[in-house]
Amino acid sequence: MAGISRDDVANLARLARIDMAPAELDHLASELGVILNAVARVQEVAGQDVPPTSHPLPLQNVYRKDEVIQSLTPEAALSAAPASEGQRFKVPKILGEEA
């Protein structure tokens, strides 16, 4: 496959919400190219007739009874929050000024 460009990595970092330093983007672009070339060989044997396996167990959703059980108190749930106010997590602004 073609190499992965610095711009590609910058876009992936944006999607992954990581504010990568320019030097990191350069380094990762060259490393990812090598790694992708190595892992691309899965395509050699992944024929149309092979079904995919996403999980080792045949999974089905598991429901529990709709009963109130003991869970974290609001205080415990908020105990590790970087910031909180009342019984809520306090977060930075999520909407632009004009919204």
Partner 1 sequence: MIKKSASEMADALANGETTSVALTQAHLDRIAEVDKDVHAFLYVDTEGALAQAALADKKRAAGEKLSPLAGIPLALKDVMVQKGIPTTCGSKMLEGWRPPYDSTVVSKLRAADVVILGKTNMDEFAMGSSTENSAYGPTHNPWDLSRIPGGSGGGSSASLAAFEAPLAIGTDTGGSIRQPAAVTGTVGVKPTYGGVSRYGLVAFSSSLDQAGPCGRTVLDTALLHETIAGHDPKDSTSINAPVPAIVAAAKNGNVKGLKIGVIKELQGEGYQTGVLNRFNESLELLAGLGAEIVEVSCSYFEYALAAYYLIAPSECSSNLARFDAMRYGIRVGDASGVSAEEVMNLTREVGFGREVKRRIILGTYALSSGYYDAYYGSAQKVRTLIKQDFDNAFTKADVLVSPTAPTTAFKIGEKADDPIAMYLNDIATIPVNMAGICGMSLPSGLADEDNLPAGFQIMAPAMKDDRLYNVGAALETALLSKWGAPILSHVSGLGARA
Instruction: State how far the Cα of 97 lies from the Cα of 99, in Å rounded to an integer.
Output: 6
CB of 87 to partner 1, least distance (A): 13
Which residues, in sequence order, are bridge partners of residue 88?
85
Q: At what angle do helices 22-39 and 6-15 cross, to 10 degrees?
A: 100
Q: How many CB atoms lie within 10 A of CB 97?
A: 5
Q: Is 70 in the site for partner 1 (CB under 8 A)?
A: no
Sole binder of partner 1 in the list 2, 18, 68, 99 (CB under 8 A): 18
Judged by CB, which is closer to partner 1: 57, or 68? Answer: 57
Sole binder of partner 1 in the list 7, 30, 87, 89 (CB under 8 A): 89
Are 29 and 9 in contact by the 8 Å Cβ rule? The answer is yes
Residues that bind partner 1 (CB under 8 A): 4, 8-9, 12-13, 15-21, 24, 28, 31-32, 34-36, 38-47, 50-57, 59, 61-62, 64, 72, 76-77, 79-83, 89, 91-94, 96
